[in-house]
């Protein structure tokens, strides 16, 4: 057996180290604020890509007027982080406040979780799950909202992630051994009171990120070599539906382009690829409000021109190839011509641009859907101060004003904002939880509250917070922002 894939030079995340430790220890526009890893939900005419194999046309219609792309970020004028963290262990700019809304093993409380010992009682019938990761928000009819949260619990299939040479054994076993991960919810009234909590998916493994759909369901991604995407109804307790057409691989996140009826998907593997899924006309008919997500074409990205390194200095042309054996594990069906993206993380569609992160090289990428080009908009290795504060790139969220919010897995536990003009600002920093990572960014429908997780955070027993089994924060934005 070769040695486990352990990161070198801190290029891989502490999540990978935790996976290794787990198994070696013996464990076998309000709409634009909603989703955690999704994207723009605006409606527009929907051109249908051609049927059959091969690439789609060199250019897709650009359906966004050029004048709408001139954006000033919502967070352009925030100040520096305060020197001293608040009572919840979070540094924020002046005017911001935080609240803890869920902690592993405790029933959520209507007014949020106390900074002291757990309170008796609570709402819902489920203690909060361990290792909360990707998240999203959907609105309620009464003006409230629901925060959705994955649980990234390893299982048999995860062994094939840490030890890829064993994936051929562990992936089949995974299909017969129910996982311990789940997807949970926090239900909020319009004033922010938590009124319920329930499970919308269980029996899965290593659910990482995902995305809210324009039709207000949640897509939860399993991150292991035999992983699937599951569609869940966030409005009631229940069980999600598997979507094998979206591929079998170590899924990280999903973004949806409703204009062209396409989904974009990242793969979190050292030799991962970047995918898109094109709905069959019968699966997402023109004019239909949603896709069935049961029939479509899975394709793999190829970067042309001067390739990946050329994208550091300017846009490079791209094209797409139909995946080989799309219903089989993709790590066993690599196309040599397809481009390797080392550790795909968050992905987001916004106004004709698909943003995604790769942790292996600490880069943020941007695909121009109309021009069919790709370029790097942030590269840690070449960043120059003061725009070099971002490392350990992970979950993404793009606001309706063009701010790209990047959560750190590694680095110093920050959420960093990449402004539309390319400058960087820290939005928050979690202190005293260095074995954790930040994830699950999502906003309430009115944009006044932002949710995020510390997936390995918890109580320290002294009224504060430290490393643990996971917690969820609420960031309350100032009124003038």
- The tens digit of pLDDT for each residue in 333-352 reads 999 999 999 999 999 999 99
Residue where the block lists tokens 């400058």: 423
| Vertex 427 angle, CA 422 and 433, to 5° | 125
Q: Between these two residues, 115 and 273, which has the higher pLDDT value? A: 273
> Is-contact 100 471, C-beta < 8 A?
yes
Domain, as residue range, for 46: 31-476
pLDDT, tens digit (0-9, with 9 covering 90-100), for 43-87: 333 233 443 344 444 456 654 444 345 688 999 999 999 999 999
**6 located within any domain:** no
* 344 beta partners: 358
Long-range (24+ apart) CB contacts under 8 A made by 276-283 are 276/301, 276/320, 277/245, 277/246, 277/247, 278/49, 278/56, 280/51, 281/48, 281/51, 283/245
Return the structure tokens found at 57.
């046309």
Return the structure tokens found at 312.
């550091």
pLDDT, tens digit (0-9, with 9 covering 90-100), for 350-401: 999 999 999 999 999 999 999 999 999 999 999 999 999 999 999 999 999 9
> Pairing state of beta strands 353-358 and 363-368?
antiparallel
Identify which of 9, 5, 4, 10 has the alpha carbon closest to the alpha carbon of residue 409: 10
**185 located within any domain:** yes
Q: Which of 63-72, 147-156, 311-320 has the highest mean pLDDT?
A: 311-320
Identify which of 133, 135, 132, 109 has the alpha carbon closest to the alpha carbon of residue 122: 109
**426 located within any domain:** yes
CA distance 27 to 46: 47
Computed over every residue of the chain, the mean pLDDT equals 86
**345 located within any domain:** yes
CA torsion through residues 142, 287, 354, 313, sign = negative
Collapse the DSSP code of 328 into the 3-class scheme (helix H, G, I; strand E, B; otherwise coil) and give the result. coil
Number of domains in the chain: 1
pLDDT value at position 154?
Answer: 77
CATH number at residue 470: 2.120.10.30
Instruction: Count Cβ neighbours within 10 Å for each residue of 8-31 and write b for 16 or more, e otherwise.
Output: eeebbbbbbbbbbebbeeeeeeee
CA distance 215 to 224: 27
**234 located within any domain:** yes
**467 located within any domain:** yes
Name the pTM for this structure. 0.88
CA distance 40 to 262: 12
For 201-254, the DSSP string reads EEEES-EEEEEE-TTS-EEEEE-STT--EEEE-TTSS---EE-GGG-BS-EEEE
Q: Cα dihedral angle (431, 433, 436, 441), rounded to 10 degrees?
A: -40
Q: Is the peptide bond before 323 cis (omega within 30 degrees of 0)?
A: no
**59 located within any domain:** yes
CA distance 205 to 184: 14
**232 located within any domain:** yes
């Amino acid at each position: 057996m070769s040695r486990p894939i352990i990161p070198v030079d801190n290029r891989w995340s502490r999540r990978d180290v935790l996976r290794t430790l787990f198994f070696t220890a013996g464990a076998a526009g309000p709409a634009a604020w909603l989703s955690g890893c999704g994207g723009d939900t605006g409606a527009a005419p929907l051109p249908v890509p051609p049927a059959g194999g091969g690439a789609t046309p060199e250019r897709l219609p650009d359906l966004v007027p050029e004048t709408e792309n001139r954006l000033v970020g919502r967070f352009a004028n925030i100040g520096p982080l305060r020197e001293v963290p608040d009572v919840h262990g979070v540094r924020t700019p002046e005017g911001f406040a935080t609240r803890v809304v869920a902690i592993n093993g405790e029933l959520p409380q209507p007014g949020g979780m106390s900074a002291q010992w757990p309170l008796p009682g609570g709402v819902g019938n489920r203690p909060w799950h361990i290792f909360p990761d990707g998240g999203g928000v959907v609105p309620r009819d009464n003006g409230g909202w629901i925060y959705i949260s994955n649980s990234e619990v390893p299982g048999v299939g995860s062994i094939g992630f840490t030890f890829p040479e064993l994936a051929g054994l562990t992936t089949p076993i995974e299909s017969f051994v129910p996982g311990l991960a789940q997807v949970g919810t926090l239900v909020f009234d319009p004033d922010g009171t938590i009124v319920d909590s329930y499970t919308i998916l269980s029996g899965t493994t290593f659910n990482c990120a995902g995305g809210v759909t324009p039709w207000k369901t949640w897509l939860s991604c399993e991150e292991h070599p035999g992983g699937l995407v599951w569609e869940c109804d966030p409005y009631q307790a229940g069980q999600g539906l598997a979507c094998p057409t979206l591929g079998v691989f170590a899924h990280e996140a999903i973004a949806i382009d409703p204009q062209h009826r396409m989904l974009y998907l990242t793969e979190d593997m050292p030799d991962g690829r970047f995918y898109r899924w094109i709905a069959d006309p019968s699966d997402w008919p023109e004019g239909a409000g949603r896709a069935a997500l049961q029939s479509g074409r899975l394709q793999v990205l190829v970067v042309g021109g001067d390739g990946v390194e050329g994208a550091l200095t300017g846009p490079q042309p791209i094209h797409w190839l139909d995946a080989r054996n799309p219903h089989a594990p993709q790590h066993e069906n690599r196309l040599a011509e397809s481009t390797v993206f080392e550790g795909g993380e968050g992905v987001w569609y916004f106004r004709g641009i698909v943003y995604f992160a790769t942790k292996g090289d600490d880069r943020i990428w941007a695909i121009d859907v109309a021009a069919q080009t790709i370029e790097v908009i942030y590269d840690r290795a070449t960043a120059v101060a003061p725009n070099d504060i971002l490392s350990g790139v992970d979950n993404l969220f793009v606001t309706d004003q063009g701010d790209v919010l990047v959560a750190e897995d590694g680095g110093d536990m920050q959420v960093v904002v990449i402004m539309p003009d390319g400058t960087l600002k820290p939005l928050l920093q979690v202190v005293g939880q260095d074995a954790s990572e930040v994830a699950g960014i999502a906003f309430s429908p009115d944009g006044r509250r932002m949710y995020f997780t510390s997936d390995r955070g918890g109580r320290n027993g002294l009224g504060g917070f430290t490393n643990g089994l996971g917690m969820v924060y609420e960031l309350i934005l100032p009124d003038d922002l």
